[in-house]
Each structure stands twice: as structure tokens, then as C-alpha cells.
Structure 1
Amino acid sequence: MAPNRRHVGPAIRRLLDLAVTDGLAPAVGCAVVLGGEALPIITAGAATSDTFFDLASVTKLFSTVTALALVDAGLLTLEEPVGQVLPAYSQGAKAGVTLRQLLTHTSGLPSEWSGWQRALDEGRAFDRALLLEDLLDTALEAPPGTRFEYSCTGFNTVMVLAEAVSGQPWPALVQAMVLDRLATDGLTGTPQVERCAPTEYQPEYGRGLIQGIVHDEAAWSLGGLSGNAGMFATAAGLSIFGEALRTGLTGILSPVMAAQMWRRQLPELLGQHFNPNDPGLGQGLGVRINQQPWMGSRGTHARGHGGFTGTSLLVDRRENLTVVLLSNRVSPSRAGDDATRLRKAVSDVVYSGA
């Protein structure tokens, strides 16, 4: 190991141990790859290198790659209105929505979809077909292409679109288009319960302590792995995906699609509505860019994504590094530290060894 990297592992271990001691999360794991060299996996609390964590919105990276693989296959396009496939998007303002807008949070859809909550309030069992109808009926809050608004609703719409053009269920698409092309068993939408770090205690929804099933309520109502959430990973497993993302997703996406995913999208998409001071400036297809509050002060060229459960993936081509941080900071309650400071501290340590 290069001399300037020897401090990285011990420094991260101290950060993870402190996170557990301070009560940020009962289980934490970290994987780092520097210059193609994988450092030993570091864990703290009730986690081992074999522990699977609920990735929450980091799942959106897998959803993006799945959708772009369907573009490569000629089943989808980035620019044509999705209303050509989805009748619910064939009229009115929604007729202008494109896949590119869905993947960049510029479609005008709201951040959250609450159909699952309505079903629970009305005492109805979750019926995926009815829930998806409800999802597709979601009204726009703004004309397409006029604002950036982070939207889980949009990514679940991508899922419905992909299922419609392929005739396959979403989990099978993600498996075939992404997971089967990665040499790891550390990524799955259907983990073994006993290998999973638990997340939130939710007696109000009859869920009890959630373990081995997706924490996100929208994805839960839709059956598990969905467009917005539902992927589980070990630290090593997610680092393998991260390295594939950093190096161009060879064998998964065409060079053209991989490059599209990586580049900044909002100046072109929003035009006169683009605000260079908006934090949404950092957005590619699916990937967040230069999110310094958690990517670190040197992460100006980094790409990646964070997850509500306390997870994140950061990749940086310029510095040749990948950083995976996994935690269950929502266990047993979401009412605590959101792990932003821990993510930033880990990122800064890794950059110091780059």
C-alpha cells in the first residue's frame, strides 16, 4: 500500500467506531477502492463484511443503469415522450415528459407519491396494479423541464415504463440488465433476512422491526425492489458496482449511454429556468454530482448517490477512487442524525489518501 494511504483505514475505523458509540447507527460498514486497489472492508457495531444493508435511494443508480440498458436495446429512448408507451402520460402537460426528465428529476412530478398511505388509511391491502394506476395518475406540480425537484415518484414511473416496454417485472429486469453482469453476490433485491442490518421499528404500519425487506414505504407497497428503493448490498458488493460505474460500465452499457449518465444534464434541460446556485446543479442521469455536504470538500468532480437509511456511494474518476458507506441510521428510529457529517468525514479521509 502506498505510504499516503496507510492512514486511511485506521482513520475510517475511528470514525465508524465513534458513529456507533455516539448512537448514530447500530451497524456501519465501509469499502474503499483507491487507484484500483481495494482496501480491507471496515465495519463497526453489529455489522460484519457479510452484512447486507438497505440501500434506499442508492437504488436509483441501479434503476438508471437498467433504464439506459433498455435504451441501448432499442426498447426506450431518452427524448421521446413516455406517453407513447404510458396512456396516463398521453395528454395535457404530462404528454411532454421524457425518460431523460424522469432520470434527472426535471419532469415536474412531486417528490413523493402517497398512494401507499391512502391504501393503509382506507384499510385496503396493497394491490400492485391498483397502486401503479394511482402512481401514474399523479399530477405534475410544474411543466416538464422548468424545475429540478428530486422525485422518487419519477423513478417509480421509470419502473412502470420499463415494465411496459419489456413485458418483464422490474426485479427481473434489474437482475438481467445489471446484477447478472457484475461478478458479485453482494447485491440483491431479495436478501436473506438473517444477513441484513435491521432498519426502523414501525408498529404503526404493522411492520414491527423491519429487517430484510425494504424500508421505504412506497417500495414496500409495490412489493420490494422498485424504481426508487429496494436494493440491498454488502460494502464489498456495492464497491464492485461503484468501480464499474467509475470505469464506464463496460459490458453493461454502451460507451454512449455510460457517458450520458456521467455528464451534467441540468443546464441544457432547464435552459432559462436553470439556476447555477441551485444544489440541483449537480445532476447527471440518475447520479448526483458535486454534493459537497457529503461528498467532501474535494469531491467537486465526484458522482454518486446517498440513501435515507444512511448509505452512500461516491465515485471519482479524476482521483481514481470509490467510497461506499453503509449504515442503518434509521434503526430503530429515523428521528436522529442523517449521517451527512459521517459521510463527509469518510470522504475527506479517503481523498486525503488519493
Structure 2
Amino acid sequence: MGFEEDWRDLTAGTDPTLDIGIAVGGVDGDVWTGGRDLLFPACSISKHVAAFGALRLVADTTIDLDADVNTYLSSWQLPGTGTVTVRQVLAHTAGLTENWFPGYAVGEPVPSLLQILAGAPPANTPAVRRELLPGSEFRYSGSHYALLQQLLTDVTATPFDELMAALVLEPVGMADSSFDQHFPNEHQERAARGHANGAAVPGGWHTQPEMAGAGLWSTPLDLVRLELEITRAHAGDSALLPPDLATQMLERQSPGGFGLGTEIGDGRFGHTGQNTGYSCFAFAWPASGTAVAAMTNAEDCRDTLFALIEIAQRHFG
């Protein structure tokens, strides 16, 4: 039985309100997609995309992986003493406040990123601060990528959504993707409506001003395109990212931790994600030159996604 048959067997008879989009692609150009052609929040896969963009700025020496983040931040400074580096921020080893960003429902006031960093109203999460000794351990937190978003915006003097479009989305060919939080409103006919705890998310979805950590809208096919570009970069076949930086992106930066914006394991790399009302994953298996991405409009269907990852591991790992 092939991957497509396993996918259909797994998803047959699922809740009719659940939309699951999936894409499988190879470096040889072969592509297969399943499910409706919808746009979904990429949730924490946004971090993986933002990391690729940040590494492109490292490649052109705009920023240095091992420099103190406060040397680049001009509109806000990370409080406290000691050095926090760009590398630590990308790898979740800077020891910052442990935050998951639920976003802001339709009708709620949406804070600026500076309000989010300061934990000031109407932000619904604590301030971004140093809590652990930088570099001492892996601690997954959206705070790292809120800081990264401000850093990249300050350094380039470019709105984050426009910066990522120029650095990642356009050159990789991710034509159905955007960090612009107005994007789903402009494509209402294709935007998947989220579900949490068995109920529809009021208004369809939340706004995520923490774009680098959770704000990308995309499709499974676009996410596959990114994973294959990283696969090519690691092999030295990409014009977008040199192989030494791609290698660092795919190497654990601490025991049991991530690479640079990348989950590592079982011969694969990529990222998983969960926002209010949605969950997803995108992984590549370099040995077979294959990438798989799945996106859903339900927050509580991770068992299905993990089963899909296992199916992909069996076929492509």
C-alpha cells in the first residue's frame, strides 16, 4: 500500500467539519496533494520559516549568529545582564519567558509587538524577559521568536511580513503564503475556519501579531517547497542558503533540543505547530529527498497528525 492509500484510510470517516490538507513532494519535482485547496495558519512552522529568513541575513553578513541581540535591537532592549545571542534565540536556548501565543479573537484589541514584548495591555501574554542562564538549556518558547521578529525589523527597517516575503516566500515560490495578518480576510473563500474543543472559533481565526512565532498563513504545498529548498541547501544545491548555514540549521544546538528553528529526529527535519483552532506539521526526509506537510483546521487532532508522520516515516524515512 502506498502513502496516498494510507492517507485515505487514515482520514476516511473523520469529522466532516475537519479539513485536512496534505502535500508530498520530492526534489525530483514530483508532487502529490490531497484534501481541499485551502489556506491554513502554519502555526509554529512560522518559526521554521522565520529562521530560514534570518539565516539568509546571516549569509549576507547583515547579522551574526553569535552576536548579542541587544546590539541589533534599536526600538526595544532585552532587560537583564549577560549575553543572549541570535543563535540562542533561534535555537530556544536563550532562557526567555515561556510563552505560547493564543492570538486575538475577532473584535479584541490587537497589541503591537512592542506591547507584547513588554507584556503591556492589551497583550495577553507575559513580558519577554531572561529567566534562565542564556545557553544553559533548551526551553521552547514563542518569546524567542517575538524577539527575533523585532530584531529583524529593527535591523532592516522593513515590516516583518514584507521582509519575509522578500527573503523567503517569493524566492522559494511560496505564492500562497503570507505573514500579513490581513491575508485570510483577503482570501475568505479559501481560508479554513478553525475549531477548538469541538466548536468553531468565533470569527474563524485569531490574529497573530507575533508573526515570526505563529503568524504565517500557507498551504501544505508551499511548506513542502520550503522543506525541499532546505534539503537542497544542505546538499549544496541552493542559491538561497549556503550549505554551512543549512547544516547548522539541521544540527541540534543543545542536547535534546532543536536546530536553528528546526525540529530534528528519526532522519527527518522540519517543524510542528498548533494555534488556537489549528494544528499542522511539515517534515523532510533528506535520505529519500521527500517532504510531507499536513495542515488542519482543528486544534485537537494531533493524534491524526502524529499518525500521518508515522506513515510518512514508514514510506520515506
TM-score (norm 1): 0.75
Kept in 2, the 8 Å contact 1:201–1:210? The answer is: no
**Offset of 1:124 from its aligned partner?**
9.1
**Count, aligned residues:** 294
Q: Deviations over 1:199-243 (max 9, x none)?
A: 1479xxxx82324xxx3x6x2xx3xx7110111122222211121
Measure, in 2, the Cα distance between the counterparts of 1:172 and 1:251.
21
Aligned to 2:21: 29
Q: Which residue of 1 aligns with 2:239?
A: 251
8 Å contact kept, 1:115–1:134: no
Identity, % of aligned pairs? 24
Q: Distance in 1 between matches of 2:78 and 2:4?
A: 53
Matched residue, 2:250: 262
Distance 1:178 1:124 in 2: 30
Q: Is the 8 A contact 2:196 2:298 kept in 1?
A: no
| Residue in structure 1 matching 2:115, options 123, 127, 131 | 131
Cα 1:115/1:244, change in 2 over 3 Å? closer
Distance in 2 between residues matched to 1:124 and 1:42, nearest whole Å: 35
1:84 to 1:319, Cα distance in 2 relative to 1, 3 A: same
Q: How far does residue 326 in structure 1 lie from its aligned partner after superposition?
A: 1.0
Q: Look at both structures and tell me which one has the larger radius of gyration over its CA atoms.
A: 1
Indicate if the aligned counterparts of 1:201 and 1:209 stay in contact, CA closer than 8 A. Answer: no
Tell me, in whole angstroms, the C-alpha distance in 1 between the residues paired with 2:222 and 2:248: 24
Q: Helix, strand or coil: the match of 2:155?
A: helix
Corresponding residue for residue 304 of structure 1 = 270
Match of 2:259 among 261, 284, 303: 284
SS at match of 1:154: helix
Question: SS in structure 2 opposite 1:32?
Answer: strand
Aligned residue type for 1:210: G
Q: Which residue of 1 aligns with 2:167?
A: 177
**Unaligned segments of structure 1, at least 5 residues:** 1-5, 268-280, 291-299, 331-336
**Which residue is 2:87 aligned to?**
100
SS in structure 1 at match of 2:291? strand
For residue 344 of structure 1, the aligned residue among 263, 287, 306 is 306
Cα pair 1:104 1:265 within 8 Å, conserved: yes
Q: For residues 258-298 of structure 1, what are the alpha-carbon distances to aligned partners after superposition, in whole Å with 9 as ceiling and x for unaligned? A: 2211112114xxxxxxxxxxxxx1410000111xxxxxxxx
Residue pair 1:101, 1:107 contacting (<8 A) in 2 also: yes
Pair 115,130 (structure 1): closer, same or farther in 2 beyond 3 Å: farther
Q: Is the 8 A contact 1:301 1:318 kept in 2?
A: yes
Q: 2: distance between equivalents of 1:242 and 1:129?
A: 28
Q: 1:1-354 residue pairs with structure 2 within 5 A?
A: 7-18=2-13, 20-21=14-15, 26-34=18-26, 36=28, 38-43=30-35, 48=36, 50-86=37-73, 88-89=76-77, 92-93=80-81, 95-112=82-99, 125-128=109-112, 130-132=114-116, 134=118, 138-189=128-179, 190-191=183-184, 192-200=187-195, 208-211=202-205, 215=206, 219=208, 222=209, 226-248=211-233, 250-267=238-255, 281-290=256-265, 300-308=266-274, 309-330=278-299, 337-339=300-302, 341-354=303-316
Does the 8 Å CA contact 2:113/2:150 hold for their aligned counterparts? no
The TM-score normalised by the length of structure 2 is 0.83
Higher helix share: 1
Q: Distance in 1 between matches of 2:229 and 2:145?
A: 22
Higher mean C-alpha deviation, range 150-159 or range 188-197: 188-197
Cα distance in 2, alignment partners of residues 91 and 153 from structure 1: 13
